[in-house]
Amino acid sequence: MNKIRILSIIAVFMVQVIYGLTFTFANDVIDAGHVRPFGFILLRVLGATCMFWLLSLFTPREKIETQDFVRFIVAAFFGLVLNMLTFFKGLEYTTPIHASVIMTVVPIVVLVFSSIFLKERITLLKMLGILLGFSGAIILSVYGRSTQSGDDIVLGNFLVFINAVSYSIYLILLKKLATKYHPFTFIRWLFLFGSIMVLPFGYSELAAVEWHLFTPYIWLSVLFVVIAATFGTYLLNPLALQHLKASTVSIFLYIQPVVAGIFAVIMGSDHVNSVKIVASALIFSGVYLVTRRPKS
């Protein structure tokens, strides 16, 4: 395994660790009632957009073909607009544990889409890795459910499922863009188009925010979601996709339920037992099998 591939795997691993923490942070902000879901999304996208365009001032310029702007708009819709709107609205009705487990359908959807649109070969090793990871996630969900139910679990879970499918489509589109342009080139346009599309949904909710009511923890959670879970992850994912297959990147999503469980233990809301250890081992084994390169 070469150095670039190792760094790419570390990058995509960090993305899933950040996302695993985001379920709790975002849910706490929404449950506190200080920011409504769509207002939170607009704040998240606008904040990251500003950071990406500031970053572009210090990076080389690259010419973009006119027809590719249509791809940017479509990728922004699936990767930012539909993805975030359904995720945050879903968190309003469901729990972080439910949401993180539902997201484990992404590798399966990406694997199917990759074989159709990217002509990626589905190997037996990959299928075994996905089966192991999915089994671990299911076991973890059965024994790791939150004691507090959302207002409408079924609706919330359905919205998170739509988010998962949307994210899968985004990864496929992103793979095509990442092989043609450097991430610094297209990611700023992706967020600019995304912020324009999100604006009508979140403007009124963001305008109604009473910032003086924010506690230090709420401020920390908001900053984490904007800086780490948006700017950081949307920068690392395309960098990793330059050297990894879309299906390989998606399998790392199985790490999210593990991170959610570990974070719950740290926060004192859960405990470790043998079942959770076995489930975590299955998930990481699945990730290992999928990321292994077949011998020539």
Task: Report the b/e string of 181-218 with b at 16+ CB within 10 A.
Answer: bebbbbbbbbbebbbebbeebbeebbeebeeeebeeeb
With CA atoms as reference, report the closest residue to 284 among 138, 136, 100, 140.
Answer: 136
| Mean pLDDT of each 10-residue bin along the chain, 296 residues long | 84 89 83 86 95 89 87 92 88 73 73 73 79 75 56 76 85 81 86 95 93 92 94 88 79 77 68 72 76 61
Tokens of 222: 């908001």
For the chain, the 3-state helix, strand and coil shares in percent, each to the nearest 5, are 80, 0, 20
Distance CA 19, CA 32 (A): 20
Is residue 154 exposed (0-12), middle (13-18) or buried (19+ Cβ within 10 Å)? exposed
Residue 120: CB partners within 8 Å, gap ≥ 6? Answer: 111, 114, 245, 246, 247
pLDDT tens per residue across span 244-263: 887 777 778 778 777 877 77
Tokens of 23: 């379920």
Tokens of 126: 């990959």
Distance CA 20, CA 261 (A): 9
Whole-structure pTM value? 0.76
Helices (H) and strands (E) in the chain, counts: 14, 0
With CA atoms as reference, report the closest residue to 23 among 151, 156, 131.
Answer: 156
Taking the domains of the chain in order of start, what are their residue ranges? 3-291
Distance CA 75, CA 166 (A): 10
- Residue 176: per-residue pLDDT: 78
H-run or E-run covering 165: helix 153-178
With CA atoms as reference, report the closest residue to 18 among 172, 278, 221, 198.
Answer: 221
Supply the Cα-derived Rg of the chain in whole angstroms.
19
Complete DSSP assignment for 115-147:
IIII-----HHHHHHHHHHHHHHHHHHHH---S
With CA atoms as reference, report the closest residue to 259 among 21, 10, 12.
Answer: 21
